[in-house]
Amino acid sequence: MINYKEYKTILSAKNNMNIYRGCTHGCIYCDSRSEIYGMTYTFENIEVKTNAVELLDEALSKKRKKCMITTGAMTDPYIPLEKELKNTRKCLEVIEKHEFGVSLLTKSDLVLRDIDILGRINKKSKCVVQMTITTYDEELCKILEPNVCTTKRRFEVLMEMHNAGIPTVVWLTPILPFINDNEENILRILDCCKQAKVTGLLTFGIGMTLRYGNREYYFKNLEEYFPELKKEYMKKYGSSYGIKSPNSQKLTRIIKKFCKNNDVIYGEKEVFKFCTLFAEQNNQLSIFDGDQ
Ligand code: SF4
């Protein structure tokens, strides 16, 4: 079922947008399912913001200063429905028209459809393509993130973006205790990051979040695919919101060392700074510093 809704605004105060609400990729750990986000319908029943493109056009035409527009934090902008609706593509056209930059986060290879516009935006200002990668093992990946392309394909996308001159970032998160929080998984992903020449990498700590709404969904999946683990989680973490892998420190050390040795920007603060710093603003800082 698809819900259609007209909105009054599309951009947040920090220039982030969600073109859809809800997601059909089915990741078993999805934090966006948490009740605090106030979804009033089933998460898979996508809400289409019917006037998203017009709202973005209007918002960007009123902005005095160019900046990066970000998307993908709450909903993947390349859900399967996008193939037909092309709302993300139309928003990218608006961003290109107004000569803003864009930084988007996805798990889907559908982003390759828009590599032409992304490349042009990157030439005029700046584009960053970010991908979430959690699991090297393809079979495990299909359990954790069942309805979207697997890690192997996502790295192919990152390589294509790099070959097109577009910088990329990997979100190595969430790392699920006792499931993908092992050294082999992390090392293999880091090796692929090296081959794909990613610009940045972040982890949000080595762990995951469990809140009302996503906890129930996650535990239901644990029962189905890892029946022995549900008890283990309840014993170790109770009802904690942010849970860390017991291997957190060791894996963090490995990731930090990799980033340092390979000139990869590491960590949320630095990566977000990179993703939100508009190229033209960067060049003009000395001339317009302080000008709002
Ligand atoms: S892609 Fe993101 S929003 Fe979609 S199900 Fe997975 S974690 Fe949730």
Question: Would you state the pLDDT for residue 41?
Answer: 76
Q: What is the signed CA dihedral for 5, 149, 227, 172, rounded to 10 degrees?
A: -90
In sequence order, what are the beta bridge partners of 168?
A: 129
281 has pLDDT over 70 = no
User: Could you report the per-residue pLDDT of 164-190, keeping only the tens digit for each?
Assistant: 999 999 999 999 999 999 999 999 999
User: Could you report the per-residue pLDDT of 142-157, keeping only the tens digit for each?
Assistant: 999 999 999 999 999 9
39 has pLDDT over 70 = yes
Ligand 1 centroid – CA 289 distance (Å)? 38
224 has pLDDT over 60 = yes
* pLDDT range class, residue 280, cuts 50, 70, 90: low
Please name which of 108, 125, 130, 281 lies closest in space to residue 200, comparing C-alpha atoms: 130
Which atom in ligand 1 lies closest to the alpha carbon of residue 33?
8
Domain positions in the chain are: 3-285
Ligand 1 centroid – CA 107 distance (Å)? 8
Phi, psi of 71, rounded to the nearest 5 degrees: -155, 155
User: Could you report the per-residue pLDDT of 80-132, keeping only the tens digit for each?
Assistant: 999 999 999 999 999 999 999 999 999 999 999 999 999 999 999 999 999 99
Amino acid at 187: L
Question: Would you state the pLDDT for residue 279?
Answer: 75
* Tokens linked to 128: 């960053």
In sequence order, what are the beta bridge partners of 132?
A: 171
Binding site membership of 32 for ligand 1 (Cβ less than 6 Å): yes
- Nearest residue (by CA) to ligand 1, atom 8, is 30
Which atom in ligand 1 lies closest to the alpha carbon of residue 75?
3
* pLDDT range class, residue 282, cuts 50, 70, 90: very low
The model's pTM: 0.94
For residues 133-143, average pLDDT: 98
Binding site membership of 175 for ligand 1 (Cβ less than 6 Å): no
Fold of the domain built from segment(s) 3-285: TIM Barrel (3.20.20)
